[in-house]
Structures are given as C-alpha cells and as structure tokens.
Amino acid sequence: DAGVIQSPRHEVTEMGQEVTLRCKPISGHNSLFWYRQTMMRGLELLIYFNNNVPIDDSGMPEDRFSAKMPNASFSTLKIQPSEPRDSAVYFCASSRLAALDEQFFGPGTRLTVL
Amino acid sequence: KNEVEQSPQNLTAQEGEFITINCSYSVGISALHWLQQHPGGGIVSLFMLSSGKKKHGRLIATINIQEKHSSLHITASHPRDSAVYICAVFPIQGAQKLVFGQGTRLTINP
C-alpha cells in the first residue's frame, strides 16, 4: 500500500493567493483528518470526515478555510485568501474506521505564505 | 493547564541508554496514542492502547488508567531513535477527536 499521499509537499505563495492542498487516503479507510502543525500550537485537528461526510469542523480557523471530500479516495483543503499566519505544515491522516482508531499520516505539506 | 502534559520536553542521552518519556492527562479517555515524528517531519503511529502494556521491538508503552498516566520506554536506544515523541488521547466526553501533547524531543548521541 502506498500510504496516505499528499500534494504538493511544499508550497510557497504570496498573501492573498488561493492555496489548495490535496490528499489521497489509504484505500479502504473510512475516516480522513486534516491537521495543522505549528511551533506555537503543535498539532491541531482542522476537520474530520467519516464516509466522506464532515463530522467535526470546529478546528477550521475561519471562513477562509474550506475542505471537501467528493469521494472516498480524495480530499482537498483550500485556503482563500491565504495569510502569512497560515504558514504551517498541514498533515492529512486516515483511519480504517473512526477517529478512535490508529491513524496513518501523510508526509505533510509545508506551506509558506509570504 | 493543557489536558495532555508530556515530560520531559527535551531529552538527550547516550546510545544504549534506557529511555522513559511520560504522558499525563486530565480527562477520562477511550484510548491513548504514541506517535513518532522524525526530523524529516513524517509522523508514524507507534502504539494505540487503552489498558496494560504493549511492546514492539525495543519500544514498550504502558498505561495506568486510574492514575491517568502513560509511559513510553525505549530499550538499548540508538541514534535513529532521535525524534519527537507525541502523546495523544481520545477523550470519552466532549469532542470526539485526539488531543495532543506538545511532544518530547529525544536526541540519542552515538
């Protein structure tokens, strides 16, 4: 199995631009998570999908952030417009059943907003 | 006060030493996870446990539900064990999502 796949691995953009991060979960996994990691706040859950349905989006910072999961094998996290404080590493993870299960993390996308 | 506290925050040891990293939490939980984050940034799940002890190679994780405490032990430590180790708990009540500790940065010198 290829594991969780994320793209791009690195993204540098200018303030105000739209950013789209992509994730392909492990085949057969029913839950998908988007996390953000910063030095100040550590790992934070942004949003969690189960069977393609958003279950908990309370961690999404504000309306500039949106996430979709159109099918079981693909999810996007979009930031529009981006701001320098959005600079972080964004991880996607998936688990076989639910949030309680072991989670498998992707390699992350390092986002820098100038 | 954070719901999940790890100690120490930083730990440096010599190759071969026995390592212990501690995790204390303040809420009732369904499960506790130990994660490893390598210097390159990738995160790997090491253990998920809700009681007792689990062992995988040189790594051992224990949990005491009554005392709300878990430990991660590394026997015969090696420089390749150098990483950040993160404890995360899944609360029984409240938001159904992992709550993370701030991590313990472990450096093993040859």
CB atoms within 10 A of CB A87: 16
User: Nearest residue of B to residue A100 by CA position?
Assistant: B90
Asked whether the beta carbons of residue B97 and residue A103 sit closer than 8 angstroms, the reply is no
- Best B29, B49, B97, B105 residue to mutate vs chain A (most A CBs within 10 Å): B97
Model confidence band, residue B84 (pLDDT cutoffs 50, 70, 90): very high
The pLDDT score that the predictor gives to residue B109 is 97
Closest of B104, B47, B106, B39 to residue B77, by C-alpha: B106
- In the sheet with A65-71, reading across from the earlier edge strand, the strands are A5-7, A19-24, A74-79, A65-71
Asked whether the beta carbons of residue B45 and residue A104 sit closer than 8 angstroms, the reply is yes
Mean predicted confidence (pLDDT) in B85-103? 90
Which residue, chain included where needed, has tokens 């417009």? A81
How do the pLDDT tens digits run along chain A, 114 residues long? 689 999 999 999 999 999 999 999 999 999 999 999 998 888 999 999 999 999 989 899 889 999 999 999 999 999 999 999 999 999 999 999 887 889 999 999 999 999
User: Nearest residue of B to residue A89 by CA position?
Assistant: B41
Mean predicted confidence (pLDDT) in B9-25? 97
Q: What letter represents residue B86's amino acid?
A: I
- Best A34, A45, A50, A100 residue to mutate vs chain B (most B CBs within 10 Å): A100
For B89, half-sphere exposure in the C-beta direction (CA atoms, 13 angstrom radius) is 27
Residue A58 contacts B where some CB pair is shorter than 8 Å: yes
